[in-house]
Amino acid sequence: MTNSQDLITRCIHTIQMLAVDTVEQARSGHPGLPLEAAAIAYVLWTRYLQYNPADPAWPDRDRLVLSAGHGSALLYTMLHLTGYDLSLDELRRFRQWDSRTPGHPEHGLTPGVETTTGPLGQGLGNAVGLALARAHLTACYPHCPLDHHTVVIVSDGDMMEGVGYEAASLAGHLRLPRLIAIYLDNHITIDGGTDLSFSDDVAARYASFGWRVLRMDGTDVADIDRALGDAWSQPNRPILVIARTHLGWGSPKQDTSAAHGEPLGAEALRATKEHLGWPLEPSFLVPDDVRTHFRWAGDRGQQAQAAWQSRWNAYAAAYPQEAARFQAEWAGDLPPGWDADLPSFAPDKPIATRVAGGQIMNAIAPRLPALIGGSADLAASNRTALKDLGNIRPGDYAGRNIHFGIREHAMGAILNGLALHGGLIPFGATFLVFSDYMRPSIRLAAMMGLRVIYVFTHDSIGLGEDGPTHQPVEQLATLRAIPNLTVIRPADANETVVAWRMALERRAGPTALALTRQGVPVFDRSRLAPAAGLARGAYILADAAGTPDVILIATGSEVSVALGARELLAAEGIQARVVSMPSWGLFDAQPPAYRDGVLPPGVLARVAVEAGVSQGWHRYVGLAGDVVGLDRFGASAPYQTLMREFGFTPEHVAARARTVLGR
């Protein structure tokens, strides 16, 4: 650390101008935030954050989340200066094809980027999840050295978006330790001053949540150091540090919306450099003593990690079994025998797949300590409560059940943070129709390849009397449209067992399980194909004698309807094959030979059956086929009535099959 005011000032100006040159070179980006937050970044990276550029994934590093992801040039500048594997050439390639410096930070692409941010408020929710993960693991492994902080830099937009509001509310309720949010209070949005749309007393709001609130001058190094030192010394509840800053600080566009989303331009860039006393040429200048100082800050992390490694070695020697379990969970491994108690369901009575799912989860959870999650105030309906495994409560984080409250937005973002931290497999539950509230978080989980499990119950008009506001019709289609999200809608309890296995064994992306409210038959697998076929996305559940005349393809509760239609057709001499297709994504990933075996190209008479929109089904039934779907909203009535009135009966499906066959 240096006391030289001249060196500190030049370090801050280096951050500012390197970021501004990055944006100017790309002719695209947001220079305002790096200019306003450079002093804060300097103090954070040189005096407080614990990180090691040589090992960006070091378990006990501090997590720094730039929720205001539009300011990515600031983050890339700091990563370069402190010695991460991010060259000056990559800064020159900002926002260009195949660079490691995209317009908004992307986890897994750029070393040192903890999460993918951009949609405002998401990073704040991720930070809450990261802090909760550390608190939970520390409670479960009390001797394990996990001492890191989670720091999130937020903007006015993060304060306005509902997901940030929800996440901060839950964090305050839980009194999450070692969580620090730095709010860049610059009074500017894209459309102009914040007074156009925002007059909240943010300090009072966060205080009401239970956060400790501090203030600092975001341009004064001494005041920044004072406030951050105070925050670091009081780790027992979340802290909001309100930093009065100036968007585009030091430029002719300071305190105007013009500094937000466009390069300064040649004239303003020249004026900024002259104002700061910075050389006009060359661009991307890093003075030698500045680089040395920042690399010292980065090297400091190697010493911190070495000290942590010594503490870890002592822990592993004193508690070898516990340390080995922690390491396995950190690696994402499922423990031996995790599936030993998975149930098998007999075909004696109908059971809702949500009920089966709850039994499956409670069979798995005692053997899988990494599984943690909860519901958006619907645990009793979703059947996702983990019995006798405790609840996360304020100051008590050892439980396995998280009560997210009626906060689907925040739940999705927090789940991502839990997954990003390491050591946990998070799940979240709500009604399928409310997946719409979670969609931005689900999309980001898929983008990052996170191992998150969504339990979406009440999956169709089969939920009945609550009516069309709660009956999903388009949600399956919209979820299937998200790349790298595996959507599984099991047909019965035993398919649900396999669905959970697939979700837990999948490491490189999230899984959504769509489960019924109403009871559905448990298929007699002595007469029908094994439920293990779900693992391939679609399989022949009941076949024809010889080449089928028609193929009936169905998912979820409609598979039993298709089986009933097959019997009616058989009585007329029509040979029908029934294909259970719980997952389009898993089926599409199979080899062509398997797909053609299930859906032979020569059999053009096909009928798909699903109580949802028909969109997308024609890829499987073709132009000659038909879809028994629901291209309208539902209605309020008992589910048996709804299924009959909307045509989800064996008789109606058989009639549509005859039409396809021309009979």
Q: Which structure tokens are listed for 194?
A: 């914040």
**pLDDT score at 261:** 85
Helices 162-174 and 202-209: angle between axes, nearest 10 degrees: 40
pLDDT per position as a tens digit, 579-627: 999 999 999 999 999 999 999 999 999 999 999 999 999 999 999 999 9
10-residue block means of pLDDT along the chain (663 residues)? Answer: 88 98 97 98 97 97 98 98 98 98 98 97 98 98 96 97 98 98 95 93 98 98 98 96 97 94 95 96 97 93 96 97 96 96 96 98 98 98 98 98 98 98 98 98 98 98 97 98 98 98 97 98 98 98 96 98 98 98 98 98 98 98 97 98 98 98 92
pLDDT per position as a tens digit, 339-398: 999 999 999 999 999 999 999 999 999 999 999 999 999 999 999 999 999 999 999 999
Cα–Cα distance measured from residue 48 to residue 499, given in angstroms and rounded to the nearest whole number? 44
The count of other CB atoms within 10 Å of the CB of residue 120 is: 21
Cα–Cα distance measured from residue 78 to residue 19, given in angstroms and rounded to the nearest whole number? 9
* Best CA proximity match to 513, nearest among 331, 380, 387, 352: 352
The count of other CB atoms within 10 Å of the CB of residue 314 is: 12
The count of other CB atoms within 10 Å of the CB of residue 533 is: 19
Which residues partner with 374 through β-bridges? 402, 428
**pLDDT score at 374:** 98
Cα–Cα distance measured from residue 120 to residue 70, given in angstroms and rounded to the nearest whole number? 9
Cα–Cα distance measured from residue 594 to residue 67, given in angstroms and rounded to the nearest whole number? 44
Pairing of strands 371-375, 239-244: unpaired
The terminus-to-terminus CA distance of the chain in angstroms comes to 85
Helices 320-330 and 288-318: angle between axes, nearest 10 degrees: 130
408 labelled catalytic: yes
Rounded-to-10 torsion of CA 501, 503, 508, 509: 170
Cα 137 versus chain centre, distance = 19
* Fold matches, 5-304 and 353-514: yes
- The pTM of the full predicted model, rounded to 2 decimals, is 0.98
List the chain domain ranges.
Answer: 5-304, 353-514, 533-661
Note the CATH number of domain 5-304.
Answer: 3.40.50.970
For the 353-514 domain, the top CATH level (class) is alpha beta
- Residue pair 31/23 in contact (Cβ under 8 Å)? The answer is yes
Cα–Cα distance measured from residue 363 to residue 500, given in angstroms and rounded to the nearest whole number? 11
Contacts of the segment 274-282: beta carbons below 8 A, 24+ positions apart:
275/250, 275/251, 276/13, 276/16, 276/17, 276/250, 277/13, 278/13, 278/17
Cα–Cα distance measured from residue 42 to residue 329, given in angstroms and rounded to the nearest whole number? 35
Edge-to-edge, what's the strand order for the sheet holding 63-66?
A: 63-66, 150-154, 179-185, 239-244, 212-217
Q: DSSP string covering 12-43, please?
A: HHHHHHHHHHHHHHHT-S--HHHHHHHHHHHH
- Residue pair 52/112 in contact (Cβ under 8 Å)? The answer is no
Phi, psi (rounded to 5 degrees) for 515: -120, 150
Cα–Cα distance measured from residue 503 to residue 511, given in angstroms and rounded to the nearest whole number? 6
In the set 90, 408, 558, 610, the catalytic residue is 408
Edge-to-edge, what's the strand order for the sheet holding 486-488?
A: 401-403, 371-375, 425-431, 453-457, 511-514, 486-488
Which residues partner with 491 through β-bridges? none
* Best CA proximity match to 41, nearest among 11, 17, 21, 67: 11
Which residues partner with 401 through β-bridges? 373, 391
**pLDDT score at 218:** 98
Q: Which structure tokens are listed for 134?
A: 């550390």
- Residue pair 231/40 in contact (Cβ under 8 Å)? The answer is no
Please tell us whether the domain made up of 533-661 is placed in CATH 3.40.50.920. yes
**pLDDT score at 37:** 98
Is there a cis peptide before residue 548, judged by omega within 30 degrees of 0?
no
**pLDDT score at 1:** 67
